[in-house]
Structure formats: C-alpha cells, structure tokens
Chains A and B, each alone.
Chain A
Amino acid sequence: MKSGRQSLFRIFRYPALIFAVSVAGLVAALLVAGVADLAACAAVAAPLIATFACRLRRRRPD
C-alpha cells in the first residue's frame, strides 16, 4: 500500500504491459503454428498469470 499518490505511469505500467502481451499473444496464435503456438498461449495467459501472481504475493508473509 502506498503512502502517497501514484503517477498514471505507475498505475498503468503493469496493466499496459499485460494488455500488450495478451493482445500480441491473441494475434500471434493466429499467425503461427506448432511450438510457437505455446508461446502465444503463454502470452494470452498473461491476465491469469498476473492475477495469480498478485494473489501469491499478497499471501506471502512479510
């Protein structure tokens, strides 16, 4: 939790990254086949990975 206010860059840096990665994955999965498809799927999974990462981070004892 932050004591002060955050800039828009700080607020949106992770969401923007996840947006770019997941959309790139969606398009890449349409363009590639075979093993590259797995990489594309991993990119599509970015929102789910980020959600679970956030949950795990919060559960970790300080």
Chain B
Amino acid sequence: MKIETIRGWSFVHKWTSLVCTLFLLMLCVTGLPLIFHDEIDRALTREIWTPANPGGPHLTLDEILAVALERRPGEVPIFMSFDIDRPVVNVTTGPRANAPGAEMRFMPIDRTSGEPAPPVGGEGAVMEFILQLHTDMFLGLPGMLFLGFMGLLFAAAIVSGVVLYAPFMKRLDFGEVRREKSARVKWLDYHNLLGVVATGWLLVVGLTGVINTLEQPILDAWRYTELADLVAEHDGPPLTKAPASLDAAVARAVEAAPGMELQFVSFPGSAFSTDGHYAVFLHGKTPLTEHIITPALIDAADGSFEGLREMPWYVKALSLSRPLHFGDYGGLILKILWALLDIATIVILASGVYLWLAKKRIGEKRFIEEARAR
C-alpha cells in the first residue's frame, strides 16, 4: 500500500475514532455494569424478598388487576407484565390509557397474596440512571440518535482500522508486540492486536447498538403501519361496558399461538392496542424466538379472539439486536466474556488516543516509518 493511501485511510481512522472516542468510552464504562444488571439489581434490593405464600396458589390476573385498581382509584390499567424470577405481576396505571410515560405509575404485586412487592433493584434506581446515560444521555430521542451516529462512526473506525492493519503488519507475525521498541510502537502493536482480534465482536455490538438507538422510530413505524392496519381491520367503538375477563383473554391468545407464552398485556386505549381490545403480546420458547414478540388482539367486550400478526422484519431485527448488544442471552459465562471484551475495547480506545497524541508529538511521517520498521 502506498504511503498516500495509508495517509488517506489513516485520516478516516483518525477522525472517525477521535469524534466518537469520548462517547464510546462513556458507553463502554456504563455498559460494564449493565452487562450484569440482573446480578446488580438483585444485590441492590435491600432485603431479600419472598412471596407471602411461597409455593401457594397464584391469584388470577383479574384479581391482581382489581387489587391494583383499588390501590389507584380513578386510574386505568395501561400495561401488565410479569417478573421472570419471582411470582410478581407488574401493573402500570395512569390517569388515562394513553397517558405519557411521566404520568404512568408502576406497581409490582405479589401474585400469591396481592400485597405490594418491592421493585427489582430497590428504590435507588442506580441502574436506571446508568441505563439512561448509556441509552440517550438524558436527552431522549435526539440523544439516542446522536449515539447511533457515534456508533456508525465507530463502525467506520473499525473498518478503516482493519485496512490499516495490513501495511503495519507486513513484516510482523500475527500477535507480535515489539516490547524492545519505544512505548509508542509497543502500544501500537497492542492496539492492532486487540483491535483486529475483537473486530467481529466490536462490529456486532456496535451495529446492534446503532439499531437499538432506532428503537423509537422503529416502534413508531410498526405502530403507524402494521398495528394501524390490524387496528383498522378490527377497530370498533370504545369499550362502554365492563371488560371481559383478562384471564380468559390471555388463555385465548395463548391457545391461538401454540409454542408461545405470555410476555405482557397492553390494555384497551393504550399505545400498543386499540380502544376496544386487549393486545396480548406473546413470545416464543426457543432461545431464538424468546426475543421475538407477537401481538394477539382479543375483543375486550366479549373476549373473542380477533387476530394474531407476526412482527415485521424490522421489529424482529430490533428484538434480536437487544440481546446481541447487551450480551445477556447466554448465561453468566457469556456475560463475563462480554465484560472482558468491553474492557479490551476500553484499552483499544485509550491506546488509540495515546497513539494520536504520540503521532502529533513526533509527526505523522516519522510515526509511520517507526511503526512499519522492524
């Protein structure tokens, strides 16, 4: 590769990296505790919570809903979700079904007694803070899209880094680190080694992170196209009488979708349903399909099954990009590997900044010559 070509790729690598490095460092540092969010949430829960009647019969969903509405007079149900590790049902209520997030209230309820249960992670919300910093830097959609753009720059930095790897390795063995040379050369070799071996993981985590930043536009697109079609096919007047049994609605949805199980329920009038339907969201039972949700519409007036529609490809891509980004889909071993690769990324980023400063100090020409020399 000619020196001019190297300079060109070096320019791309330098600027795409420099612009995103600070944000990438923030994402790596905040991402580290997020990998272990389940474990940290459990540790942060002040007291070990046990259900009132361990092993006892569970209250029905209708009973849980009645308990929740009794505690929040004047409010309506919006969502109902279920903890995986404990017999707890989470009921989200608000002044109206289409209330914005700030007006929603979240209520975990012990399914064995109807008593309130502590939220996972306690009240401290440390992980909530870290997650929001990692997701949008407290800037909402603009923050998410900005971080998505940083992710694209990061992908460009990885690709240009791979291209630059070749000229610097012409005379070196794979994995060779020239410790006998200057600190600059030694750290260049570490930067190249860690960068090239982690390329696959970096690209997967980086690009799935970009997809995750598009969560809101993707869900909006689904809501205004696919869900709107489903609603248009089945929409009717808003519910005027007492709704049909929630348990029966969920049972009908599960019956209509063999091989799937309940994930959450969106109540009539909420953002993910129609004015007259329960939207029962189900997910698969295999390692792959458990990340993909499918909504079933149940008429809230008479409990009849109205329809089931698979999510479009772009929502499926979003659903699969979440586990691939956070690394929480293969148990503790995978989480530990994710953390080690995250630390390796921090080393790559920090060494990149060090190399940029070193190059500024001695000049690009001398740096390239020094780096290419044996």
Contacts and interface: CB of A to CB of B under 8 A. Distances in A.
B131 to A, nearest CB: 22
A60 interface: no
A16 B286 CA distance: 30
Contact of A51 (B197, B204, B291, B329): B197
B337 interface: yes
Contacts of A54: 174-177, 193
Interface string A48-62: 101101110110000
Contacts of A41: 330-331, 333-334, 337
Interface residues of A, number: 39
Contacts, number: 114
A45 B197 CA distance: 10
Contacts of A58: 175-177, 179
Interface in B152-177: 162, 165-166, 169-177
A30 B287 contact: yes
Q: Is the interface of B mostly helix, strand, loop or mixed?
A: helix
A35 B172 CA distance: 38
A40 B327 CA distance: 12
B198 interface: yes
A1 to B, nearest CB: 6
Contacts of A14: 174-175
Contacts of A55: 175, 177
B165 A11 contact: yes
Interface in A1-52: 1-6, 8, 11-15, 18-20, 22-23, 26, 29-33, 37-38, 40-41, 44-48, 50-51
A14 to B, nearest CB: 4
Contacts of B340: 48
A58 to B, nearest CB: 6
Interface in B165-224: 165-166, 169-177, 179, 193-194, 196-201, 204
A32 B330 CA distance: 9
In this complex, the member of B173, B344, B374 whose beta carbon has the largest number of chain A beta carbons within 10 angstroms is: B173
B172 A2 contact: yes
Contacts of A45: 337
B324 interface: yes
Contacts of B324: 26, 30
Contacts of B333: 37-38, 41
Contact of A26 (B177, B204, B288): B204
Given A1-B176, A37-B330, A54-B174, A47 B201 contact: yes
Contacts of A15: 162, 165, 174, 196-197, 199
B323 interface: yes
B127 interface: no
A19 B171 contact: no
Contacts of A22: 198, 200-201
The 7 A-B pairs of least Cβ separation, nearest first, read: A54-B175, A47-B197, A29-B330, A22-B200, A23-B200, A19-B200, A14-B174
Interface of A: 1-6, 8, 11-15, 18-20, 22-23, 26, 29-33, 37-38, 40-41, 44-48, 50-51, 53-55, 57-58
Interface of B: 162, 165-166, 169-177, 179, 193-194, 196-201, 204, 286-288, 291, 320, 323-324, 329-331, 333-334, 337, 340-341, 344, 374
